Amino acid sequence: MKRILCFAVFAALALSVPAFAASGSGSSGNSGEIGFGIGQSDVGSDSTGVDTAQFIGLRGGYHFNDQFQVEGMLSSASEDGDVSGTTVDTTMRVLMVNGVMNFHPRKKELVPYVMAGIGRADVAVDVAGTSVSDDSVAYQVGGGTRIFFGKTKRAAFRADLSLLRETTFNDSSTITTVTAGVTWKLGGR
């Protein structure tokens, strides 16, 4: 029951962040952002037979001010691996809530950031038609940058490096992920 409640709270936060972002005003007039990204993860898990995986993710964030924001992130990856000569299909879904601290150097189009968050990792493994799954609390730290472009500087290329720690199937993993994507400012002028 605790797992379901925890997952429901994280899902509600992740889904509500874009709605809050669209309605707020923020100190800079830019109340939030929404975006997507693709990434490459170094998984290195002996229990699932997967070393690397590609994923796709969605993000939505609310800016309290120019420097601090909270964002929800939902990502999914699916990969085939091999354990002792048997093909293993692994799917991982991650739902995170991150705190983000933005830095504003002199170049206004460049916005580096650091982030840390907590969430949920759900892993499903299918071997020869038999499927098992496990989930755990996940922790994430990372950093990256946004590079805004265009006349109004409302769209940005976003790239980051993050470390995610989760424990599923009694196997603790630290997953290193490089992500690239596009994000758009919401609200404000």
Q: What is the pLDDT of residues 34-64, one digit of tens each?
A: 999 999 988 765 555 557 788 899 999 999 9
CA distance 38 to 179: 6
Residue whose C-alpha is closest to residue 144's, from 183, 189, 185: 183
Which H or E element spans position 117?
A: strand 110-127
CA atoms within 13 A on the CB side of 118: 5
CA distance 169 to 48: 9
166-187 pLDDT, tens digit per residue, is 998 888 888 899 999 999 998 7
Query: How many H-runs (helices) and E-runs (strands) does the chain carry?
Result: 1, 8
